[in-house]
Structure 1
Amino acid sequence: MKRIPSFKYLFGVADVLILFACFVLSAYILRVDSNVSIIQFITESPLNVAIFFLLALVFIIIFQYNQLYRVNIIITRAAHLAHIIKAFYYGALNVVLLSILIESSNLLDSRYLVFVFALIAIPTLYVVRIEILRLLYIAFSNTSFRRNVIIVGDGKAGKMLATKLMYENPIGLNIIGFVDDDKAINEEIVIGKKVVGNTH
C-alpha cells in the first residue's frame, strides 16, 4: 500500500477547514435576515451546513486532481497560486449546483454565493497555504532531512538545474554529482560537482 506523506494530511485538513469556514461565512454574509447571529444561522440550516462540508470535501478531490498536494507545486509560490485558481475554476460548477439546491432557502440569497465564496476563499488559501504552510514545510524539510540527488546528463538543462539547486534550494536537496556516458568520471561539470558514474 502506498504511503501518503504526512504533509499531505496537514494540507488536506487545513483545506477542508478553510473551505468549510469560507462556505459558511459566505452564506452568512448573504443571509436574508441581518438580525440572525452566525450561531443561529448555522443551527437553523443544518442541511446547508452539511452541503457546505460535502462541497469542501469535493474541493479536496479537485485540489488533488490539480496537483495541489505535490511537493514541486507546494514549494513554488507562482505555480501554487496558479493551481489554486485553476482548481477554483473547476470547483465553481459545484458551487453553482449548490446555489440551485439551496435556492428555495429563506435563510440566504444564494445568487452571489460563488462570487462571495471566491473573494473570501482564494485570499485565505493564499495566506494559509502559500505564506504559512509552505514556509513551515520548507523550514521543516531543511532542518529535518536532506535528499541526495544525481543529475543524469551534463547538457544545458542539467547544468542549469544544478546551478539553480546550488543557489535556490528550498527543500534541502544535496547534489551528489552527474551521471554521463560521454564524460570521464571525476570530470567537473559545474563548480564542485563532478561526474560520478555512467548509465552502463
Structure 2
Amino acid sequence: MLRRYNRLLVVTFVVADFLSALVAFALAYVIRFNTGLVGLAQPAPPFDRYLLIAPFVAVLVVAAFQLQGLYRLRRGRTRVDDFFGVLVGSLLGTLLGVLGTLYIQTYHLSDELKAQGYLEVSRWVWVLFLVLNVLFTYASRETVRDVLRRRWRAGVGLKRVIVAGVGDLGRMVADRILEHAELGFQIVGFVDDRAAAGDAIGYRGLPLLGTLADLPQICAQEKIDEIYVALPIEEHVKMLGIVELRARGGREAHWVPTPVFLTL
C-alpha cells in the first residue's frame, strides 16, 4: 500500500513538473513577444513553433529533476531543500534545452527549415522560462506538501513506526518523532526485553508491545513500515535479528543515532 502511494506521489510530481514546464515556456513566449516589455528587433516568430518545442523542453526539465534527485522521496525535506533543488534542476533543464535545440538545428534540420528559423529560441524566452519554471514548479510542490500535511494530520498515509528499545535513546527517538508530526510518522509503540518481566509501560502513553523476539509478529500484526533501533551498543547481537527481519519483510530500519535520524 505504501509503495503504491509513493509511486503515485512520484507520478504526480512528474506530471506536475511537465505541465509547469509547458506553461512556463508558453508564457515566456507571450511575455517576450506579446506584452511589449522587451523591445522587438524583428517580427515575432509564430507561436506554434514554440509550442512544438515546449514538450521537448518539458521532458528535458523532468530528466534534469530526476538527475537532481527530486523524485527520490525523503521525509523531512525542507522548503529550502526543495527551492534549491528546483532551481538547480531548472538551470540544468534550461541548459539541456539550449544545447538540445542547437544540436538538432545544426545537425538534423534541412537548410530550408533553418532559413525559416525552426528551433530558434529567443535568449529572453530562455531567461523568462527559467524564472517562471522555478516559480511554477516550486509552487506546485508546496501545494503537494500542504496536501500531504493535511492528510497526515488526518491520519491518512502515515508511516507506522516501532522503536526497538525503551531506554533513554528510545525515548529521545519518540520525542523527536512526536515533536515533528508534520513528517508523517506514527509511533505504534516500543519493543524491549524488559517486557519479559511483565513491564508493559512504555513512554508518553505509547505501549511496550513485547520483547525483541516478538518483533516479527508485532511488525506483521501492526503493519509496521519502519523500525528505529535505539539499543545500547553492547546489545549488538540482538540487532542482528532486526537486520534479518528487515531483509525478510522489506521494512526500513534505522540505527540511532544515524544521519537518517538526525534529519528529523
Do both share a fold (TM > 0.5)? Answer: yes
Runs of at least 5 residues in structure 1 that lack an aligned partner in the other structure: none
Q: Which residue of 2 aligns with 1:184?
A: 194
Q: Distance in 1 between matches of 2:133 and 2:18?
A: 11
* Equivalent position to 2:59, from 50, 53, 57: 57
* Equivalent position to 1:150, from 162, 168, 174: 162
Quickly say closer, same or farther: Cα 1:128–1:184, change in 2 above 3 A.
Answer: same
Q: Which residue of 2 aligns with 1:140?
A: 151
**Could you tell me how far 1:69 is from its partner in structure 2?**
2.9
Q: Is the 8 A contact 1:150 1:176 kept in 2?
A: yes
Report the secondary structure of 2:181's partner residue.
coil
Q: Which residue of 2 aligns with 1:162?
A: 174
Tell me the percent identity. Answer: 23
1:134-166 CA-to-partner distances (Å, cap 9, x unmatched) read 101221244334331123466887654432220
Q: Which residue of 1 aligns with 2:8?
A: 6
* Equivalent position to 1:22, from 24, 40, 55: 24
Q: Which residue of 1 aligns with 2:94?
A: 92
* Equivalent position to 1:119, from 101, 107, 131: 131
Note if 1:42 corresponds to 2:47: yes
Runs of at least 5 residues in structure 2 that lack an aligned partner in the other structure: 34-39, 107-113, 213-237, 242-264
Q: Distance in 1 between matches of 2:18 and 2:54?
A: 10
**Could you tell me how far 1:175 is from its partner in structure 2?**
0.9
Q: Distance in 1 between matches of 2:95 and 2:207?
A: 52
The one-letter code of the counterpart of 2:28 is S
Select between 17-26 and 68-77 the one with higher mean Cα deviation.
68-77
Quickly say closer, same or farther: Cα 1:59–1:108, change in 2 above 3 A.
Answer: closer
Higher RCO by CA contacts (8 Å cutoff, separation 6 or greater): 1
Compute the TM-score of the two structures, normalised by the length of structure 2. Answer: 0.57
Q: Distance in 2 between matches of 1:141 and 1:69?
A: 20
**Could you tell me how far 1:18 is from its partner in structure 2?**
0.8
Q: Distance in 2 between matches of 1:174 and 1:127?
A: 27
**Could you tell me how far 1:94 is from its partner in structure 2?**
0.9
Say which one has the larger Rg. Answer: 2
1:43-78 CA-to-partner distances (Å, cap 9, x unmatched) read 3x1xx3222212212222222333323442586322
Q: Distance in 2 between matches of 1:116 and 1:91?
A: 13
**Could you tell me how far 1:22 is from its partner in structure 2?**
0.5
The one-letter code of the counterpart of 1:184 is R
1:152-186 CA-to-partner distances (Å, cap 9, x unmatched) read 46688765443222022125421123456xx6335
Q: Distance in 2 between matches of 1:94 and 1:51?
A: 13
Equivalences, count: 190
Compute the TM-score of the two structures, normalised by the length of structure 1. Answer: 0.71
Q: Is the 8 A contact 1:26 1:113 kept in 2?
A: yes
